[in-house]
Amino acid sequence: MFAYKTLNIMKTNLLDVVTIPVDDPVAFTFFTGYMSMFAASVFFFFERSRVPEKWKTSLLVSGLITGIAAVHYYYMRDYYASTGSNPTALRYIDWTLTVPLMCVEFYLLTKPAGATKGLMWRLIIAAVWMLVFGYIGEAFNPEGGSTSHSVTYGVLSTLGYVYILYLAWMGEVKQLAEKTNNPTIIRGIRTLSWFILVGWAIYPIGYMCMPGGWLNIAFGWQPSAVDLFYNIADAINKIGFGLVVYNIAIDDLSKAKVLAA
Ligand SMILES: *C/C=C(C)/C=C/C=C(C)/C=C/C1=C(C)CCCC1(C)C
């Protein structure tokens, strides 16, 4: 009798753990997001010992970005699995820590060419602006969904996003990258700028799937798609960003080896 009961409990637990991720694409991406962020962190932390001294901080930051995300994905995955709703607060806490760290990556890459702390803070403040208004848009969206609410805060948030795009593509970040006269850094910054332009643009698409959002109204895209887009975008951007930085460091390493030989 007792054994039977125990078995049943085990069976239920197994069913919870194994079946939800495979027949629910949102849960599935929470799970794979968690695993890939974790693996990326291990990779960046181990590779850090191999790159030239001046890139070690950059690689540490890459590992922190995916590491912080992995911890949040662990909790978001559970939150989604047990409630079926969007883990909005956890999501924005994660972003508030990781997006500024991505700004720090830009700063570290352009510092040899004279980037100031002022530039770093402008990037960070623009990022926090973008996230605060995004959070108000999502977390305080009235019951049933309000289009005017989501549009108002979506537009305010986008101003911060556009300012970051401006700095990366035309402003100081771009100018400093060119000043390094280092083709590896110029190319690396250019790739990161593409990530911001294309990879980051996935986030507003997810945002518009919330109740009352434009894509929710126009195509009936469901609120759970918010997390589908966010999860896919996070994997592309957080791991991708780290790999670009890693490539810059490794390129430098192979150049140093050629010189030594
Ligand atoms: C690792 C997490 C990253 C790179 C998160 C980036 C998030 C954004 C670029 C979010 C942007 C938003 C808008 C531009 C308008 C609508 C609200 C947001 C916050 C989804």
d(CA 175, ligand 1 centre) in Å: 25
Name the band, by pLDDT with cuts 50, 70 and 90, for residue 253: confident
The two tokens of residue 125 are 């403040």
Residue 2 pLDDT exceeds 50: no
User: Does the C-beta of 184 come closer than 6 Å to ligand 1?
Assistant: no
Please provide the size of the chain in residues.
261
Torsion of CA 69, 62, 169, 118, to 10 degrees: 100
For position 69, what pLDDT does the model report?
98
User: Does the C-beta of 227 come closer than 6 Å to ligand 1?
Assistant: no
**Residue of 157, 164, 197 best suited for mutating to test ligand 1, as the one with most atoms within 8 Å of CB:** 157
In terms of phi and psi (left: phi > 0; alpha: psi -120 to 50; beta: otherwise), the region of 153 is alpha
The CATH number covering residue 119 comes to: 1.20.1070.10
Rounded Cα gap, residues 213 and 209, in angstroms: 5
* Residue 75 near residue 87, CB atoms below 8 Å: yes
Half-sphere exposure of 57 (CA within 13 A, CB side): 10
Ligand 1: atom nearest CA of 200 is 9
Q: What is the domain count for the chain? A: 1
User: Does the C-beta of 204 come closer than 6 Å to ligand 1?
Assistant: yes
Ligand 1: atom nearest CA of 155 is 15
The two tokens of residue 25 are 């694409």
User: Does the C-beta of 207 come closer than 6 Å to ligand 1?
Assistant: yes
Q: Which residue's alpha carbon is nearest to atom 6 within ligand 1?
A: 200
For position 8, what pLDDT does the model report?
42
Rounded Cα gap, residues 234 and 71, in angstroms: 13
Rounded to two decimals, the pTM is: 0.91
Rounded Cα gap, residues 133 and 125, in angstroms: 12
**Residue of 94, 99, 196, 203 best suited for mutating to test ligand 1, as the one with most atoms within 8 Å of CB:** 203
For position 257, what pLDDT does the model report?
76
Question: How much is the average pLDDT of 60-76?
Answer: 98
246: containing domain: 2-260
CA triple 238-39-28, angle to 5 deg: 75
Q: Which residue's alpha carbon is nearest to atom 12 within ligand 1?
A: 204
Give the residue among 70, 71, 91, 69 at the shortest CA–CA distance from 80.
91
Stronger pLDDT, 192 or 257, i.e. the higher one: 192
For position 254, what pLDDT does the model report?
80
Q: Which residue's alpha carbon is nearest to atom 2 within ligand 1?
A: 95
Task: State pLDDT tens for residues 25-43.
Answer: 999 999 999 999 999 999 9
Q: Which residue's alpha carbon is nearest to atom 10 within ligand 1?
A: 203
